[in-house]
Amino acid sequence: MPETLTETTYANETTVPLLPCSTVEGTLEFYQALGFEVTYQQTKPYLYLALRWSGFEVHFGKPPRGYDPSRDDGGGCLVMVDTVAPYHAAFTQAMRAAYGKVLAAGSPRITRFRPGQTRFTLIDPSGNSLIFIQRDEPAELEYGGSKKLHGLEKALDNARIFREFKNDDRAAFRAVRSALRRHGPKAQAVDRALALATLIELATALDEQDEIEVRTRELSLIQLTAAERQRVESELRNAEHLEKWLTQEPAASDGVSES
């Protein structure tokens, strides 16, 4: 009797993504700046690049006709890791060393990272996305906010999905702003304050200084207990951490929350 497939295979497979490369020079510069090692490189008779970092590899070939890297909708690669923060910190520090700043906008870039987040994305010069995901990340997400929540709490949960899983700070900002207008007058003071603190953090990401000033003034007028103020200050520290990440010199805690 012939052997079945299960009798001749073993759970030791390795998959390697093959991504489109619209610029050889730009691809090599970006990935080498992040610390990737070039293990194979050729442009003739056809384009093929192989790069390795830590325990995984990414390969690159000729893009299809009409490929537009500016759309950021090229190939994709999911990199499953035990803990996400150290990877974000490593790439942040490498960018600062190579470029003198964090590439947080345009292409290539790295998405931001908040304490407790379970993923982030690297977008390369060809519009490919390498998404680093924590292995114990929840398997299901409730887009539009958890059905167990209501009012401002639901909007804040919705903003978390936009911000951390869809990399859309603008949509997150609009969701919280709209909910604050709708539910703010009847909401508890601490919920209004948390919503304003979230808007301040999102406005920092969007580089909207006028919005930061307006929301900060609104927040200062809300009366809170000591315990409530502590919760709000914790959220505001996320904005401070983001601002430092975007503008300041590298620190040992890049990508990792402050206690």
Q: Structural domain boundaries of the chain?
A: 18-134, 151-244
CATH classification code of 18-134 = 3.10.180.10
152: buried, middle or exposed (CB in 10 Å: 19+, 13-18, 0-12)? buried
Give the pLDDT of residue 139. 76
Give the pLDDT of residue 3. 58
Give the pLDDT of residue 224. 95
Give the pLDDT of residue 232. 95
Which one, of 174, 181, 129, lies nearest residue 151 by Cα? Answer: 181
pLDDT tens by residue, 108-147: 999 999 988 999 999 999 999 999 999 998 877 777 778 8
Segments of the chain scoring below 50 in pLDDT: 1, 251-259
Question: Among all chains, which residue has been given the structure tokens 């604050």?
Answer: 180
d(CA 204, CA 237): 12
Give the pLDDT of residue 5. 63
Give the pLDDT of residue 4. 62
Give the pLDDT of residue 23. 94
